């Protein structure tokens, strides 16, 4: 199997992994997570997995920017096995050298690309096709009261959303505070707390 392409994004700790995709007249095969590639890029294997979830989204649906209160915090490994999404990661860690910075990439069933998202980095995506599926491999289970959101439409962030019809958001995401509001209310995690939680994932 040929090598996984690895890219370090402009947010500290975020990695993008694009594996080879083998296609023939039957379909395709790929491995979005490969331990040797991940360990080579990060110096450690993937965190002990506590939860695997997925969602299915119609075209034009925008989910996020979601993050977990820290502590407890959650790291994520995310990929799209079917469909196509424009994926965003946003550094929400107060005190981080890349605080407030975002990066965008495309995840799809064709490229089988995956992202490692550290504790405290927010995640959002815009579904570009009907029935786009996003899979989340996570370091902690889901606890509703720990889950928070920042508005993906925050003009100060300026996420590159396409022109045209307004994206479809949940009520929770529509009502989410801007990045500045969330920071002023003390809702965002600190960089030091996130790094401490992240380090503890590998005993």
Q: Yes or no: say if 44 and 137 are a contact pair by the CB < 8 Å rule.
A: no
Per annotation, catalytic residue among 67, 77, 136, 191? 136
Tell me, yes or no, if 136 is annotated catalytic: yes
Per annotation, catalytic residue among 66, 67, 79, 191? 66
Tell me, yes or no, if 142 is annotated catalytic: no
DSSP code at position 144: G
User: Rg of the Cα trace of the chain?
Assistant: 16
Distance CA 53, CA 106 (A): 20
C-alpha separations of 28 from 118, 145, 148, 158 in Å: 29, 39, 36, 36
Q: Which of the residues are catalytic?
A: 66, 136
């Amino acid at each position: 199997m040929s090598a996984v392409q690895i890219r370090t994004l402009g947010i500290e700790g975020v990695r993008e992994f694009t594996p080879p995709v083998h296609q023939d007249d039957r379909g395709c095969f790929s491995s979005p997570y490969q331990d040797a590639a991940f360990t080579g890029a990060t110096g450690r294997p993937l965190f002990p997995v506590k939860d695997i979830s997925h969602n299915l989204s119609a075209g034009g649906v925008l989910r996020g920017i979601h993050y977990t209160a820290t502590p407890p915090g959650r790291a994520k490994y995310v990929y799209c096995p079917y469909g196509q999404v424009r994926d965003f990661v946003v550094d929400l860690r107060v005190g981080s050298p890349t605080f407030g910075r975002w990066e965008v990439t495309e995840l799809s069933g064709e490229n089988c690309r995956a992202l490692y998202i550290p504790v405290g980095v927010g995640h959002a995506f815009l579904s570009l096709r009907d029935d786009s599926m996003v899979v989340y491999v996570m370091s902690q289970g889901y606890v509703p009261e720990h889950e928070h959101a920042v508005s993906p439409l925050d003009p100060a962030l300026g996420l590159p959303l396409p022109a045209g019809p307004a994206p479809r958001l949940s009520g929770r995401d529509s009502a989410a505070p801007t990045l500045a509001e969330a920071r002023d209310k003390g809702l965002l995690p600190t960089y030091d707390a996130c790094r401490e939680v992240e380090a503890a994932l590998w005993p």
